[in-house]
Structure 1
Amino acid sequence: MTERIDTRRVFSDPVLWLAFGFGSGLSPRAPGTAGTLVAVPLFLLLDQLSFAGYLTATVLISLAGVWICQRASQTLGVHDHPGIVWDEFAGYLVAMIMAPEGWTGILAGFVLFRFFDIWKPWPIGWVDKKVHGGLGIMLDDILAGLMVVVVLWVAKLVV
């Protein structure tokens, strides 16, 4: 079990505050799910942008996440501490690229993203084990998000 992180430490260090999803990663149970829940309002804000603007913001959040997660990991001395949930933010935003409009899409994206992020089918599981540092922390969640995009795209074709 990973040691608990002092709440004051997270809220006093801007990098940890971001990495811990504005504090959502401090949840004692299912911090990844808590982080994804906090990503929903971020999605709602970014969803107001054009499609190109949304993609640009998602790419920038993902790229920043590599640095944020790397720094947080180094600060904590733990690779991919469960409280680091910035990767869930990015992964969920990727997942929502093909989501249907409205709360049905938000819920579908949320459930499917959590499913792939927890199950970690190939290649997500491989990346999770073999790619290290900030890139590794981010990449498995981005791949989970891309799997959701594929599932929702196929569902759109079938329906």
Structure 2
Amino acid sequence: MKTENQLKNTKKLTLKSLTDLRILFLTFFGTGLAPKAPGTVGSLATIILLYFIGKLNAPFFFFIPFLLILTIGAIFITGVIEKEYDCIDPSWIVIDEVIGIWIASFFILDHSYVSYVAIFALFRLFDIWKIGPVKYFDNRKDAIGTTLDDVAAGLMAGITYTLTFKLLEFIS
């Protein structure tokens, strides 16, 4: 539950805030400013982008160094902004969802539409349910927790996707 101060500081964020490159980055080009379900909007924007990258047959493992740098940058910038805005894990920070769903997409077995929908649904499910390691990181209440809870959700979604689709393949 957000405190009154967190709500007040979050409401200061407007489209004009996107002139701050840190906010542009953390909101994933403004998707985090969606009035409803900004985490879902940010995840959806990312999975659509990843779908088209996948259609180019780009090996996703080539993106691992970029994703590591992105994660470290997200933790650092999130820490600065959370202090500046006096808030912890505000809903408009969606770069963590971008990172999490990207990690989940590493597990995709084929680049079919069904696989991307499954990854999206599983990621959102684990991100919302916050079980196991997702809950552990979410309870940290710092920039590391803000980011790594979605990394954990991405790993859990990817593993669940792989096990499910391998089991379905084995059964049929």
**TM-score (normalised: structure 2):** 0.83
Greater Rg, structure 1 or structure 2?
2
Which residue pairs with 1:157 in the alignment?
Answer: 166
Taking the aligned partners of 2:122 and 2:25, their CA distance within structure 1 comes to 24
From 3, 23, 48, give the equivalent of 1:16.
23
**Runs of at least 4 residues off by over 6 Å:** none
**Is residue 2:141 matched to residue 1:110?**
no
Contact 2:122 2:161 in 1 (8 A): no
C-alpha root-mean-square deviation of aligned residues, in Å? 1.8
Secondary structure of the residue aligned to 2:106 is: helix
Specify every segment of 5 or more residues in structure 1 that has no aligned partner in the other structure, as ranges: none
From 26, 29, 33, give the equivalent of 1:26.
33
Taking the aligned partners of 1:39 and 1:126, their CA distance within structure 2 comes to 25
Contact 2:67 2:99 in 1 (8 A): yes
Residue 9 of structure 1 and its aligned partner are, at CA, apart by 4.3
Specify every segment of 5 or more residues in structure 2 that has no aligned partner in the other structure, as ranges: none
From 73, 90, 93, give the equivalent of 2:102.
93
Which residue pairs with 1:146 in the alignment?
Answer: 155
Which residue pairs with 1:123 in the alignment?
Answer: 133
Farther off after superposition, 137-146 or 63-72: 63-72
* One-letter amino acid of the structure 1 residue matched with residue 85 of structure 2: L
Secondary structure of the residue aligned to 1:43 is: helix
* One-letter amino acid of the structure 2 residue matched with residue 5 of structure 1: K
Aligned length: 158
Of all paired residues, the percent bearing the same amino acid is 27
Residue 147 of structure 1 and its aligned partner are, at CA, apart by 0.2
Distance verdict in 2 for CA 1:70–1:46, change over 3 Å: farther
